Structure 1
Amino acid sequence: MYRISPHVRSFALALLAGVLLATLWVNADPASYYDFIEWRIADLVLPGWIWQGTVSLTAFMIVTDMLMALFFFVIGKELWEAMVLERGALAGKRAFLPMGLSFGGLAGAALAWLLLSLLIETAEEAVPGGGWTAPLGTDALLVCLFGRAVFGSRPALHLVMLIAIATDIFALLLLGFSKAELNLRLLWLLLPLGAGLLLHHRYGRLPGPGLSERARRAGQSLLPCLVAGALCWFGVAAAGMPASLGLLPLIPAIAHAERSFGLFAEAESFLIDPLNRLVRLLIWPVMVILFLFGLIRGGIDFAAFAPTTLVMLGSLWLGRPLGMILALIALASAFGARLPRGLARRDLPLAILLLSMGFTVPAVAIEASLPGGLMREAARMGMAISLLAGPLAVLLARLMPRHRPANS
């Protein structure tokens, strides 16, 4: 089994470092912490045909909507390669089980939020039937961090990471579509579509052996990718969709390797295609971005415990596992879906437990889905408590019998 790049662990630790610092800050001096994250750096007045009203540049907006697009570009590249490249982990029928578990978990978390919100009075400002997008996402980095301690380098680690990445991206898409309005702003989506098609037409293939050295250098240039990326991000943001997904339409258009070496494979550091070169250039910036994201969105106020905390925790720890289990039963009974080769049955409960964590995407969704103030902070505390599922999975893995590979 291929080695996972050590940068993934560094990403997770950078995120946790930001969360720890933010939590210490918000509990020691909450006023200065909230002043920091809400500080208006500048107010931009854009033409009405681009954006209605004033755009306030805050620390939250810059990190979440702009810089985090680079992180989702990195993990989106891994998901796309797994689905379409030769030997991809999700190529063809291999995608059946992971995608089914991903959608089952999303549905279970959303339904649990709606049901628990009816049973528990969360807050006076709560909107009936609202907030269901808050618990949808998980955290691919923390799943990898704890998953390595649970599974080592066995296939279960790569499967659970793929499910986590797919869940995060689909959750952001659902958040965007739930907030989108049918108006002319959606026409801005033609901009990333056009930029992607043009980039793919001109630079989307690796240079052939018969080309001149000048043509080969032009085909390997990253400048067209950067220009197209700026247009893609702007078009997605102007359309009212989550701006953090603004670079995803660009991924299929960039020249790439012909086969997949695995999820975050260390071997990809030796590839020279433009897509892998771009990702290598982003490693250190993304590490800093994740620290800043943890600092700005990871502050857990210990005094914020409220009924919304229980709703968020119940959605992640009860709704998502039940949704995934029901999806697995449905796939097995309707289509005879079997576990992938090398994946033991004992791996499934541990994988589901790891996927019951929620941080990166829920931290974004809470801001967009819930009314401001105490309700958001209470939901953020539930999100933080859900991270205990990671150490719990590690403990259970130590107590369970030794792994025996499945023969299916």
Structure 2
Amino acid sequence: MYRVWTVISTYSLLLISGALAALVWANLSPESYHHFVETPLWTGGPFGVLETHDGVTTRVLTLHFLVNDMLMALFFAIAAKEVWEAVILREGSLRGKKALTPLIATAGGMVGPVLVYLLIAAVSGVFNDISHGWAVPTATDIAFSYLVGRIVFGPGHPAIGFLLLLAIADDAGGLIILATFYPSAPLAPGWLALSFGAAVAVWLLCNWLPLRLDRNRPGRPCSSWVRRVLGAWPYALAGALSWYGFQQAGIHPALGLLPIVPAIPHADRDFGVFAEGERYQTDLLNAMEHALKLPVEWVLLLFGLMNAGVEFSAISAPTFAVLGGLLIGKPLGIFALGWLAAVGLRLGLPRGMGLRDLFVVGCVAAIGFTVALFVAAVAFEPGPHQDAAKMGALLSLACSVVAIATGRILGIQKHDGTIKLS
């Protein structure tokens, strides 16, 4: 578990460092900060944000677009990899009856925040202005939740596995919400043929065909040649085409690598999120994930720097709506539907986990931070409402204090040992 702790701690520290630097910069010199974030890198190229001047529309690649729409695709690809393996593999953590209770609890953890967010928006008298930001508080930050969960429960508590299953499912739901409800431009779904065509082509040519040619041949020479000589390059090319297809289709391009993930050869078992055992796997999917971990850590530092630059004066109704959705809606939603699944439907909870633990899991899952920041940047146009929603996402880190205090008050007992997702 030491390696897991080190990886997540590094990821968290870099992300927080970027966010803190942005906060300080934006409050000391907001004009220079926003000028930096929107620095144009390339005008008139094939990718970037659409801008219209004198009736002519061109794409402008800004620093913000480079980080949020291009580099963050690597982060979402890693998240999608965990979701894909958890669902598809024989021992995947989101397969079978064992996943039913956390999956049902996840639904509560998404519906609860939306209802509280919309209620606060209505009471504040700004419902029409901010209601389209309802998805911001549905997010759960996997890494920060894991860190806080470990502090509250200890690494060996069954609630940790439950929390990770819930967070994975939450991320899957978040990806669907982003793709469905927050298009980045007018929809042109025909371009998705390029994305899914690239995925199918690379799977057929670099996965299915070599395996078929290797039937009854010792040593699998065709598959070995593809892996040894071509490596990850065909999938990188397919990923670039898929990303471009998403951009042109009007779906947020940060999700553009998702169709390629299932096409990459993967292991025949799931070791779980952040599992140490995966580093010894030789399949291409795990090899690519571990090669991307360090770059993605630095991408997240840049993400924090690009998105967390909010002036404290921006705190307003959207801030409280996002915070209320996370701090109130998450725990209540997870507990309500988790109780319904465990007690009402008699699906039960993992052995050694009780209803008190379930409520505290809901408090831990209220940390939205990374994904909530991302959704806030997508859901709102730049301006006061976006800044206020981002501040709510940043302040959701305070949910970690609430979760730790709630765990102490409810007498949660720490368990040492190795976490298991089953």
TM-score normalised according to structure 2 size: 0.86
Q: Does 1:351 align with 2:353?
A: no
What's the offset of the Cα at 1:345?
A: 3.3
- Equivalent position of 2:225 in the other structure: 217
1:200 touches 1:254 (CA, 8 Å); kept in 2? yes
Q: Does 1:146 align with 2:154?
A: no
Find the partner of 1:98 among 102, 108, 127.
Answer: 102
Q: 1:3 to 1:17 in 2, by over 3 A?
A: closer
Give the corresponding residue for 2:372.
362
Are the structure 2 counterparts of residues 44 and 137 from structure 1 closer, same or farther at C-alpha, using a change threshold of 3 Å?
farther
2:122 to 118, 124, 128: 118
Check 1:322–1:226 CA distance in 2 against 1; reply closer, same or farther (3 A cut). Answer: same
Bigger Cα displacement from structure 2, 257-266 vs 151-160: 151-160
Paired residues for 1:77-88 under 5 Å: 77-88=81-92
Task: Please state how far the C-alpha of 1:212 moved relative to its aligned partner.
Answer: 5.5
1:24 aligns with 2:24: yes
1:177 corresponds, among 140, 162, 180, to 180
The one-letter amino acid of 1:9's match is S
Q: Quick one: distance in 2 between partners of 1:332 and 1:258?
A: 30
Distance 1:197 1:237 in 2: 19
Task: Give the match for residue 40 of structure 2.
Answer: 40
Quote how far apart the aligned CAs of 1:181 are. 10
The alpha carbon displacement at 1:122 in A equals 3.9
In the aligned structure 1, how far is the partner of 2:276 from the partner of 2:60?
A: 40
CA distance in 1, matches of 2:276, 2:202: 27
Change beyond 3 A, Cα 1:33–1:180: closer
* Structure 2 CA distance for partners of 1:99 and 1:371, relative to 1, 3 Å: same
CA RMSD after TM alignment? 2.9
CA distance in 2, matches of 1:240, 1:187: 10
Tell me how far apart the structure 2 counterparts of residues 136 and 398 of structure 1 sit (CA, whole Å): 25
Residue 204 of structure 1 aligns with an amino acid whose one-letter code is N
> Percent of aligned pairs with the same residue?
35
Quick one: which amino acid aligns to residue 32 of structure 2? S
| Contact 1:344–1:404 (CA under 8 A) maintained in structure 2 | no
Change (3 A) 1:72 1:184: closer
Assess if the C-alpha contact under 8 Å between 1:135 and 1:358 holds in 2: yes
Equivalent pair of 1:255/1:273 in contact (CA under 8 Å)? yes
User: 1:389-408 alignment to 2 at 5 Å?
Assistant: 389-398=399-408, 400-403=411-414
Local SS of the residue matching 2:132: coil
**Contact map agreement 1:2 1:262 (CA 8 A) in 2:** no
Partner of 1:324: 334
Paired residues of 2:153 and 2:414 also in contact (CA < 8 A) = no
Deviation of residue 277 (structure 1)? 0.9
Question: Residues 181 and 299 from structure 1, CA distance in 2 versus in 1: closer, same or farther, beyond 3 angstroms?
Answer: closer
Question: What amino acid does structure 2 have at the position aligned with 1:22?
Answer: A
Kindly tell me: are residues 212 and 131 of structure 1, through their superposed partners in 2, closer, same or farther at Cα, counting changes over 3 Å?
A: closer
Task: State how far apart, in whole Å, the 2-side matches of 1:165 and 1:67 are.
Answer: 21
Deviations 1:9-46 (A, max 9, x none): 22122111111111111112111111111222222265
Tell me how far apart the structure 2 counterparts of residues 80 and 168 of structure 1 sit (CA, whole Å): 11
DSSP 3-state at the match of 1:87: coil
Once the two structures are superposed, what CA deviation does each residue of 1:298-317 show, in whole Å capped at 9, x if it has no partner? 22422222222211211111
Deviations 1:211-241 (A, max 9, x none): 4556413145212111111122222222211
Q: Distance in 2 between matches of 1:180 and 1:18?
A: 27
1:69 is aligned, of 66, 73, 77, to 73
- Measure how far apart 1:3 and its partner are: 7.1
Do 2:12 and 2:144's aligned partners in 1 also have CA atoms closer than 8 Å? Answer: yes
- Tell me the SS of whatever aligns to 1:210: coil
Shift of 1:138: 2.2
Matches within 5 A, 1:152-171: 152-154=154-156, 155-171=158-174
- 1:318, 1:73 → 2: CA distance? 30
Q: Partners in 1 of 2:312 and 2:202 — Cα distance? A: 48
Deviates more, 1:58-67 or 1:374-383: 374-383
Which of 276, 288, 291 is residue 298 of structure 2 equivalent to? 288
Distance 1:5 1:85 in 2: 25
2:135 aligns with 133
Per the alignment, do residues 28 and 2 of structure 1 end up closer, same or farther by CA in structure 2, a change over 3 Å counting?
A: closer
CA spacing shift, 1:214–1:179, aligned 2, 3 Å:
closer
Tell me how far apart the structure 2 counterparts of residues 404 and 271 of structure 1 sit (CA, whole Å).
28
> What is the rounded CA distance, in whole Å, between the counterparts of 2:38 and 2:319 in structure 1?
23
Which residue pairs with 1:10 in the alignment?
Answer: 10
Q: Is the 8 A contact 1:300 1:384 kept in 2?
A: no
Rounded Cα–Cα distance in structure 1 between residues aligned with 2:288 and 2:113: 34
| Cα displacement (A) at 1:404 | 7.6
- Change in 2 beyond 3 A, CA 1:178/1:282: same
Cα distance change of structure 1 residues 309 and 105 upon mapping to structure 2, 3 Å threshold: same
* Residue in structure 2 matching 1:269, options 276, 279, 284: 279
Q: CA deviation at 1:185?
A: 0.9
Q: Tell whether 2:239 aligns with 1:229.
A: yes
Aligned residues: 402
Deviation at 1:391, TM superposition (A): 2.7
Deviation at 1:183, TM superposition (A): 7.8
Deviation string for 1:304-362 (max 9, x for gaps)? 22222211211111222222223223324653221123434332122111111112222
Q: Secondary structure at the match of 2:91?
A: coil
Instruction: Give the direction of change, closer, same or farther, for the CA distance of 1:45–1:67 in structure 2 (3 Å limit).
Output: closer
Letter in 2 for 1:136: T
* TM score, norm. by length of structure 1: 0.89
Could you tell me which residue of structure 1 aligns to residue 419 of structure 2?
Answer: none
CA contact 1:4–1:263 (8 Å) conserved in 2: no
- Establish whether residue 107 from structure 1 lines up as the match of residue 107 from structure 2: no
Question: Which secondary structure state, in structure 2, belongs to the residue aligned with residue 346 of structure 1?
Answer: helix
Question: Structure 1 107/278 Cα, relative in aligned 2: closer, same or farther at 3 Å?
Answer: same
SS of the residue 2:4 aligns to: coil
Q: Flag the 1:402–1:146 CA change in 2: closer, same or farther, 3 A.
A: closer
Unaligned regions of 5+ residues in structure 1, if any?
Answer: none
Instruction: Say if 1:134 and 1:370, in contact at 8 Å, map to a contact too.
Output: no
Please report how far the alpha carbon of residue 151 of structure 1 lies from its aligned counterpart in structure 2 after TM superposition. 2.4
Cα gap change, 1:365 to 1:262, in 2 (>3 Å): closer
